[in-house]
Each structure stands twice: as C-alpha cells, then as structure tokens.
Structure 1
C-alpha cells in the first residue's frame, strides 16, 4: 500500500573494505512501503462375532528394571492360558531389557484399561506363572451377558461376554436469527457517502508544521521538512540501520546479477538518480550521528533498505526502485514509526465516482516521478540515506 507520507532512503555501495562503505542521501521525497512407517496392528478387546463381545482381563502395571532404574506403566493382559509372562518388543527397547527367544504367543492383542472398552496395544501378558501370586479371594458374577469381576493384587479385573457397543445417535438442531434492523442499517451505510473523519491533535500539528516549514524555491520546486515525532516526543528515536540496509542490498545484488537484463535496468535506475541530481554523497557517517543513552543507541539518521520491483507488462516503467521505510532499526522502530501521517487529503473515491456521473467524459492522468519532484530539507535528508 502506497502512502503520501514522506519517506527517506540511502544507497550503500560496498567496496573491498567494508569499513569504507559509501553512503548517499536523497534530496527528494521518497515513497515506500508502509507498511510411512509400518503401523502396529491394534485389535479391540472384544469380538463382534454373532453380535457379541468378549471382555479380556486387563490391568495397569508398573514394570521396573533394577539394572538401570527405568520403569514404565503398561497395559497388561491377564491370560490364564499363557505359560509365561512376556512383554512386547516396544517395552524391551524402552526399558533396555534382556531378550529371551519364545514362540507360540499371539501378537497385537488390544487392551482397554482403565478404559477397557477402547482398543490399545498389548505391552505385557501375565501367564499362569504369576497368576497364583496376584489372585485374591473375591469374585462377582453378573447376568449371562455381563462379564465377571475377579479381585487381584492389581485391583478388580473384568472378563467375559459384554453387550456389543451401541452406535451413538446424534441429533442436530439448526437455528437462524436474523437481525433485520442491523442489516438495513448496513445497507444504508454502504449506499451513503462516507463522512470525513475528524482530525486528531497529531493531525492538526502535522498540518500546521507543514504550513510553517514548506517553501517554494526559485527553481519552482517545493522543499519540505519531515514531520518527525521526535520534535514533540524526544523518546521517538531511531536505532542503527546501516548494517541492516547493507545486508538487504547484498541480497538484492545477488538476486539481480542472476538476470543480466534486470540488473542492467536496476543500474540504469540508480544512475538516473545521479543524473537528475537527486542523490548526493552523505557528509557524515552513522557513527557520527549516533548517541548512547541508557545503553540504547539513538541515531539522527537512517539508512533505508531498497529493492527492485520488476513489471514486464508495464508500459512506462519496467523496473521501479522501492525504498522500505517500514524496515525496523536496531531499537525496533522504523522511519515510518517516527513520522506523523497527517490528515487525509485525497478526495473520497465514492464521492469522486459520483461526480463523474455529472459529465459525459472523464479524463485520468498520472504525474511521472511526482514525489521525486519535491525536495527535502538538507537537515532531514540524513533520514533518507540509501
């Protein structure tokens, strides 16, 4: 988005000695941007065969490796048909356990404990070698289609048949409420000509500052001062910007040199600034315009990054050089941040279109290099280094 806010720029041309980088300041007004691994097989702990489910005895067990102190909480399947207690390969690797080859054990049984109805990976099978040590007196028997509960050292375990899971029923209700009064108000606002907003105190100061500081030179060109917020708010200062702009320039140079035509047009655009006397060597360095207060650097100058915008379909200007006055300096502020925007001076577009309807013919025109026809005061050109 382009604005009429005065922006500033400077061109850094690197030499063989980085400390000897030359800097130039612009003497005109500049516009800128304001701106697949294999998955584990999981089986549920119930069977849907013949519309019935079988519940397997499960428990949550803490396994501890005394050799290295590692432990893990596992989902355990208590299997009275197993002759040994075994764990999965996942647990062996996690706890660094010693492997023993076995055969004839089912893989991928699904568990669900404490939420037994949810399928999960089986990490441990407790066989009859430990069954006698964990079983406690106490058993509860339900209805024919309900599982039984057995008391153990690990808590109560469930096993047996269960009812098949029921599908959930969702009921969706939609309700629409229309605010006809609000809709009618919005319609009227769209069709009406917008009112010009009231100027703020900053807008009034900015306009007054312009009226008091701008002048017309003997050549007919206007010279203006930048409405810096620093004038009425000393805390609105800039940090260092030279190295940031230099890095951006080197990136631009590497990109443009890959396309000789674009590089030539960029070079011609920079040369035009010198030809029209719109660039001049900077008389001071960033170090000379920098003061330090409370461990913060405050600079009374600014080096603006720039880039080239290439438009092949353009009839007049194939390549334009755009200066980025929204680039942050070392203290987080940009040049746009310390410049007053001022009141809106352009006519409202809807009003302009309505006026066009009064006439049979309408003409449009474009002013070439309009902002470059306005000079900036030499004291403020330090903020327009490129």
Structure 2
C-alpha cells in the first residue's frame, strides 16, 4: 500500500494511528514509540500520509523538468515487506484491476478445515501464508531461510516454511502446498469497494469469492506451482469494460480490468488535448488536438435527470451550489409518512429535553 492508502485503511478499521492496535485512539495510546522519522504520534509506516500537501506541491516537478530518481534506501528489516507482482496496481481514476481471489478451505494442524481468502498468482514462484493465519492453523513449521526478490529488486527474508492441503468448497479437489510464512502476503484487494449490482452475473454459477468486490485482506498466495492445476479452460465474458469469469477448481474467479460507466462517458463526451514533453532523448513531441468523439444518445431516464439538474441548480449567497434531489418515482409512493416522521421528531425533542448535556452536543 501507499502511505495514504495505509492511513485510510487504519482509519477505516478504527485502529490506533500510533501503535496500530484496536480498542483505543492515538490520544489514549500508552505506547512510548513514535514515528522514527518525525517523532510525532503516528506509526512510521504512516509518516508520508501526514506530509504537508502544500510542500509536496511546491516541490513537484513541472512537465518539462528532468526528474532524476536516486536509488532506494535500505529498508530496516522491521518494516521490510514482500512485494509480489500481484501488488502492482495501476492507480488510475478510470478503472480498477480485479485480481483472481478465491475463498478456499485449508487444513489446520488437527485435521480440521478452516476458511481463508487466497490470491491466485501465476507470476509468483512461491506459495505464501500470513504469520497470523499460520498461528491460527497451528501448523508445524520448519526453518528455511529464503530471500524473496520482488518487483524493482525489493527483497524480503523468510525464515520458516510450512505445508498443508488446500481444498475447494465446491468439489473434492485438493492441492498439497508448501507455504513460506511471511508477515503480509498482499495489500487489500480490491483497493476500494465496487458496486457490481448491474453486472448481471449469472446466479447459476459458483463464484470462487462471493464478495470479490469488497476490499478485504489476503491470507494465502498460491503461485505458479499450483496455478495451472487450479485453472480450467472455460471463461465467461460479462461484457465490454467488465472483467471475465474464469473457471477454476475453486469456482469462477473474477479477473481483469473494470472501467466505470461514468469514466467511459466522460471520455466519450469530451474533446481533449494530449501532449508529451521530453519523453525521450529525441525530444519526442506528440500532440492530439480536438479529438471529436460521438456523444452517446441519452436514455429517457438520463434525459429527465439532466433536465431536473439544469432547471433546479442555483448558487446560494455564500457561494455554495444547491440542487434538488430528483425522484425516480412519484414521491406519493412513500405513503402517509409525514405524521410518523413528525411524531418521531417530537419524541426525540422530549428525550433531549431530559438530558441537557446530550441536547447541547446534539444541537
């Protein structure tokens, strides 16, 4: 994760910004540790999330400056992280890349089956399991010192290995796997929750990960050793700009790039200029001007929404914009709800009158 994504993830999980533990806030943190870089009350891994944005803008290079990047500094072992090819994400506002995830059964040290979330990665030469899951499974471990080299030359030292069996939830297929134990396998996948209500995924198929669209952690990474055993030949295309449903031993995995409808329409509705300056030693300059694309016809609903927006938008005295909320259906479908809402409001007022402190805070 980038420092900003780490920071937002910690806030979303209601963790302490200083020690990353649950149950308290940074103002009540008893840990004596502070950021090793600026000595402030946040974890070192969150340091860049608190940098001054104005300073960052002031030092940002212009389009025609030559940017020279220095070699990366040695990362202390305490915060060194494994980097898989699966962790390379194109941070583009227009699309999301879905990686192949599956909810599988994994056998623990007593022979019982536990549920975990796995990432299928054909580019990884090893299988991985998080330290936290290895402890829950109570698997026996053997010492095996291994250096894992990821993208960009980053490395991570692994000390232990374990082995177990991974099984499908939908059939009897099993796979014996050797797993290197690491602190963290991958970042959250996907990075943000995605609305898939209009994807029309067939209800008759078994999804390998029913909540693939919700940002969640990864417990296990299954690499190339098992990837092509798990893979099946059938593939289902959901449509243009949507990922594909690939058949596997664990069910259908959702994999591929998804472009949001709003971003596609914004692209289609605009004329734009693209210019690349100093892109090579040959000083290549490529310019596309006034690229006219056909504007798609609006549906009756879209046209009604557009008309409602244009006719009700207004600027308030303080400079804010105000627009009425459009109703898809006639408000009469709400029924006689006014009296009920009024009674609840009056009831709330009476309750607040009995507790002036709460009333003051509420007001």
**TM-score between the two structures when normalised by the length of structure 1:** 0.31
TM-score (norm. length: structure 2) = 0.33
Q: Using CA pairs below 8 Å that are at least 6 residues apart, which structure has the higher relative contact order?
A: 1
**Higher Cα Rg, which structure:** 1
